[in-house]
A and B are shown apart, each in its own frame.
Chain A
């Protein structure tokens, strides 16, 4: 998982998130070998611990695992939705790639979020403001990065909506009146509005029906090839992982139990949980 070259885009070291009180024993006494992420002493929950990986420019990394395994936690920590307990993350395009972005001030974090990252949530209500039109939602990202020209905002929003195959005449409609698939497309438009080098996708297709799922996945794959964005794709659905990702990390009880090339993991899983996961794939 960790190559020894210097081309990485995002470098994550020892990322840990614990809910509740903790000491050295908390992490040591939880994990896949104990089949639990709840500390037996005090009931603290180790959402994820000792997560290490490098992400390279233009690469798509999958995180797969059962619910509660900590896959969304990683993405939310990196997108600053949650406060880390421990760990470091470095982002190459940021002003200094030796600065731990998880320790930066709120303003700096906002800057990173708006200019260097994008996030697509499972629930469009988390990523979109339903009181604003779809154009306004995309505009919010553009305004945050200093674009104060209504005409330019509208042009860019139109361009993004046509790229994500949302009917352009719906630009000024509220996303509440959109179908689930369209809401997800607007969310994707918003996430890539500032051409970020890094995009997080958190269970994007869960909750959509199969034909819409396929279209959204197609769109994401096309966009990835066109724009060359590096992505972290979180999913419990192995077919999503197979379709989108180059490399995969398998998670259980807050730990990475196996990682490697996606094809390799799907063809020849080594860890017993990974084997179980692959064998349950229809």
Chain B
């Protein structure tokens, strides 16, 4: 761990200056007030490159307080490179306590996963978003996509889902499955797997999304309806892990990673490292109530 005292007095608390923090907070308030709406913001310079989690970092540093407990995951893991470095940076600049324990954390920054453990009302979930515009795949012009959002004109998005169903038999958005927030805006939930999408619906926690490179913030407030896009006869569904199980815990009621060994053999392991650790220690962490898990035969 880096010696905090060497840096802590040379920079403002949480690195970003107070005026810029205020600007980001104001934009966050706007984002919370209009669920799913992308609010443009300044995206100030950070000591990491844009596109490497600056959006999430901006949000974290703008709202972090001295009493917060900070957790950061990268694809479910507390210990991967992106998570470690950003954790070090936040710790260095704020001296707040960091943790691996989901239940203990108050701020959870994440890259492309939602923790398996259920979120609590006082927690804030912060996403690093590479592409905030869900309509980008069907409309490349920004002024047009903004107009489409303003007018609620989402036919093209549904046509792209229709095309996918016709060509492949299912909607092939493995990650970043488009969702309708509060029956108004289509939103990109950041590249979380389909498994995590239902956990956004009526979640107790506040979800904040930051896209630093694209300079957009958006939010899903607690207890907001988040519905994945679907047709009447072709419904949204999550990944089906039936017949597969975690080789450490024998569970398949969590998102599984596929491990491929040198000899070609495969194993599966729970992706969320903190959840896995808790299961290994025979704790019983409270999982999200995900209605889709019970529908599929595990």
Residues of A within 8 A of B (CB): 106-107, 110, 129, 131-133, 135-137, 139-141, 143-144, 148-151, 153-154, 172
Contact = CB atoms under 8 A, between A and B. Distances in A.
B185 to A, nearest CB: 15
B140 to A, nearest CB: 10
Interface stretch (B72-80, B96-104, B228-236, B250-258): B228-236
Interface stretch (B116-124, B147-155, B198-206): B147-155
23 contacts: A106-B151, A107-B151, A107-B152, A129-B156, A129-B159, A131-B138, A133-B166, A135-B166, A136-B159, A136-B163, A139-B159, A140-B155, A140-B156, A141-B155, A143-B159, A148-B158, A148-B231, A148-B232, A149-B231, A150-B165, A150-B231, A150-B232, A150-B233
B162 interface: yes
Interface in B70-115: none
Residue from the set B158, B167, B233, B234 with the largest chain A CB neighbour count within 10 Å: B158
Contacts of B163: 132-133, 136
A170 to B, nearest CB: 13
B68 to A, nearest CB: 43
Given A144-B153, A149-B231, 9 more contacts: A107-B151, A139-B162, A140-B155, A140-B159, A143-B159, A143-B162, A148-B232, A150-B166, A150-B234
B233 A143 contact: no
B235 to A, nearest CB: 11
Residue from the set A131, A136, A137, A149 with the largest chain B CB neighbour count within 10 Å: A136
Nearest to B147: A106
Contacts of B167: 172
Interface of B: 138, 147, 151-153, 155-156, 158-160, 162-163, 165-167, 231-234
B151 A143 contact: no
Contact of B153 (A110, A136, A137): A110
B129 to A, nearest CB: 24
A85 B147 CA distance: 22
Contacts of B162: 135-136, 139, 143, 150, 153
A265 B86 CA distance: 78
Contact of B166 (A136, A143, A148): A136
B143 to A, nearest CB: 13
B151 A110 contact: yes
A133 B147 CA distance: 24
B276 to A, nearest CB: 38
B233 A149 contact: yes
A197 to B, nearest CB: 21
Given A110-B153, A140-B155, A151 B233 contact: yes
A141 B155 CA distance: 8
A157 to B, nearest CB: 10
A137 B160 CA distance: 10
Contacts of A154: 166
B159 A132 contact: yes
A149 B155 CA distance: 13
Contacts of A172: 166-167
B158 A143 contact: yes
